[in-house]
Chains A and B, each alone.
Chain A
């Protein structure tokens, strides 16, 4: 997919996407020369700026086709790294974006019929849960997850997490099929082509679904679908216009489907839908929202 994107931008030399990327790279270079780290650009960069309004109704399934909620496959949901424009650039994962990525993974696992979703198995790593926050069961209910029917696994290593995911995917006895959501915020070398291939084959064998939520850096992966997710400003709600609204995330399908622009998804108890009527662009256009200038930590 990355090749595809590159050839796209080669073809349209003056596309705004390419221009913004160039500017971001130059900014990063200047910061490097001035030894100001980290450079806190908006990690989603131009990708966010170019997100258009959704045009295909509010159903994510209609927008992405069969890719959204596909079962029997491995989905990879990536979130960005700090100060990097691209998800797969490496660097320290932006842990603040992990919640957005996880919520999208839940929407993905719910698929078309959230009410009849399979029990979910959440796998996270102990030390990441201790440092960056553990999955909080009461926070799952507003996303349509019955926390009482979920299994929470705390793995000590990537290896254990991968084994647990595979074991859960292969479990089919007694009519049980599970959606496995593995959260590896900073996967190591063991999460590689071979490991992801194993996960994919396990999912394919039983028709279960596996979503691997991971930080930007790491080994290549063979997941047929790769999504890129970041947080997105929410839409004001009627009963609390000044407070945050429904969880909103910006999503792009990077691999495994037709190339479509990134869109904003909004999630509630009954699933995810495209947020069509109110986008970031609108807000910038109407002046109700002012993007933050680049800020540098330690320079305060």
Chain B
């Protein structure tokens, strides 16, 4: 069972929750009391200009309707069928809020598949009175949220999913006979200690159901063995073929030689089998960064105004700063999560160019975000809890100024610190990409000679720049570089190559001074094999341009472009 351990040698306990009727449930939530769960109801989509059923509720499925069926056919089968258009985007937005609710059970929440949530509860289940208590809490919450769900706790994500997929929230039993037979063999399998935590005897009438199973630590393999192959989450074709071949349970498939299976069905099937059995480590990729430091404030009366929210944030920042200071670190990302009374929440994130922990700076950036950001923060019915978390840590050396340092050095360093602080503030409002430091790159092509590094990425700044000037001080590189060099029509050439007259943007120029060529080889690995000959030219009025010819002189297809303007 070594594979059930995570990379750090810790035993994992994975809670997987599947929402089989998510779209229908979300629609019912949005419709409020107007939706009756007992009547046949479908959500339809327009596919290739025809209406097809996207999701059918339990009553409709009982009447023989299925997803993908033409809507007209469904109407013919059930004339009283009620229907509504499917809105996947609204569903996705609602589901995201539901997923964030799972952070109460653990910090490591992922959504590995559609309408599925997966999280590690190894270290947090005891807070709810054990795994059974956790599932009971989950059941209560999902019932309040009116969501049908099936949950399972197992050692690996794959096993947890396979089990969750096979517990029907409506009947509390597996939908296929294979699962029932597992129960029948329970006496013969000492590893089988699955228990039904939440049944749903009266649930179908309310349209909400919940079912859960817990696989005891180390007991996955025995439960998985009896599950139908569909539980592995295979694509329907593969599952159907396996079923046709008589391989109806996971156990039956596992008894086949791996090489033959892989040859016939590809590597996916073998991988799924191995992951479910715990022989292959699968990680849960989290939807949000796991906070390194976190402080929470609950307020007895809700915070109703933006100013009060900012004051509370300042208090949290001070608490967090003490924790960070104690450990000698600073953070580059702070996230503020504001929970409203009605269970909705707001997330605001700020980034720093350099690790920070100064509460005043943190509060100032949040104030900017609140006041200048894209969406103003709306307290609604009021915030009853605020959580501030710190991520992306880096050590901050304690401040020390030696008398040996010259004043100039100090002033310069102060200036640099002030510059990063300014970048933080500008980046918080204008967006991370809008504020950049320039970094010199060792690239030949002028457009790649400099990299604009977003200041909030916190990259080191290059201090040495190659001298782009002649010994006299005449610049070799223009002050403005055009992102897309513009074509230039050259009317006449001087004997040694530079243009003597050219037209740019319909305006003719006569070249008075010119120097060049400065030859730059195209970068072959980027598919630019042609050479460029750059000339610095000056026209009658003293305008200085950077013009290049792509291709050798006289070569077919050689053309001229203007790449920049000098001061």
Task: Write the residues of chain A forming the contact surface with B, with a CB cutoff of 8 angstroms.
Answer: 40, 42, 44, 96-100, 102-103, 116, 118-119, 121, 126, 129-130, 132-143, 146-156, 160, 163-164, 167-168, 171-178, 230-234, 236-240, 242-250, 267-269, 289-292, 295, 297-298, 300
Q: Which residue of A lies closest to B484 (CB)?
A: A130
Q: How far is the CB of A285 from chain B (nearest CB, A)?
A: 16
Counting CB contacts under 8 A, is B553 at the interface?
Answer: no
Q: Which residue of A lies closest to B565 (CB)?
A: A99
Chain A residues, CB < 8 A from B482: 132-134
Counting CB contacts under 8 A, is B421 at the interface?
Answer: yes
Q: How far is the CB of A35 from chain B (nearest CB, A)?
A: 16
Task: Contact check, A156 vs B542: say whether CB atoms are below 8 A apart.
Answer: no
A-B contact sample (7 more), CB < 8 A, given A142-B477, A146-B463: A134-B483, A139-B477, A152-B438, A171-B418, A233-B540, A236-B513, A268-B473
Counting CB contacts under 8 A, is B196 at the interface?
Answer: no
Q: Which residue of A lies closest to B475 (CB)?
A: A142
Task: Contact check, A152 vs B435: say whether CB atoms are below 8 A apart.
Answer: yes
A164 to B423 CA separation, bound complex (whole angstroms):
10
From DSSP, what is the main secondary structure of chain B's interface residues? mixed
A102 to B438 CA separation, bound complex (whole angstroms):
18
A150 to B452 CA separation, bound complex (whole angstroms):
11
Chain B residues, CB < 8 A from A138: 440, 446, 449-450, 465-466, 468, 477
Chain A residues, CB < 8 A from B483: 129-130, 133-134
A297 to B506 CA separation, bound complex (whole angstroms):
6
A140 to B515 CA separation, bound complex (whole angstroms):
20
Chain B residues, CB < 8 A from A146: 463, 465
Q: Give which listed residue, A132, A140, A143, A234, contacts B544 with CB less than 8 A.
A: A234
Q: Which residue of A lies closest to B451 (CB)?
A: A137
Chain B residues, CB < 8 A from A133: 478, 480-483, 564-565
Would you give the 0/1 interface string for B442-479, flagging 1 where the beta carbon is closer than 8 Å to chain A? 00001001101001000001111111111111111111
Task: Contact check, B538 vs A233: say whether CB atoms are below 8 A apart.
Answer: yes
A291 to B469 CA separation, bound complex (whole angstroms):
29
Residue pairs across A and B with Cβ atoms less than 8 A apart, 26 shown, are A40-B507, A99-B566, A100-B567, A119-B416, A132-B480, A133-B480, A133-B481, A136-B450, A136-B478, A138-B450, A143-B475, A148-B437, A148-B439, A153-B430, A163-B429, A171-B418, A171-B422, A174-B421, A176-B414, A178-B419, A237-B472, A238-B472, A243-B536, A244-B514, A247-B475, A298-B506
Task: Contact check, B437 vs A176: say whether CB atoms are below 8 A apart.
Answer: no
Task: Contact check, B455 vs A244: say whether CB atoms are below 8 A apart.
Answer: no
Q: Give which listed residue, B421, B446, B450, B455, contacts A171 with CB less than 8 A.
A: B421
Q: Which residue of A lies closest to B473 (CB)?
A: A268
Counting CB contacts under 8 A, is B129 at the interface?
Answer: no
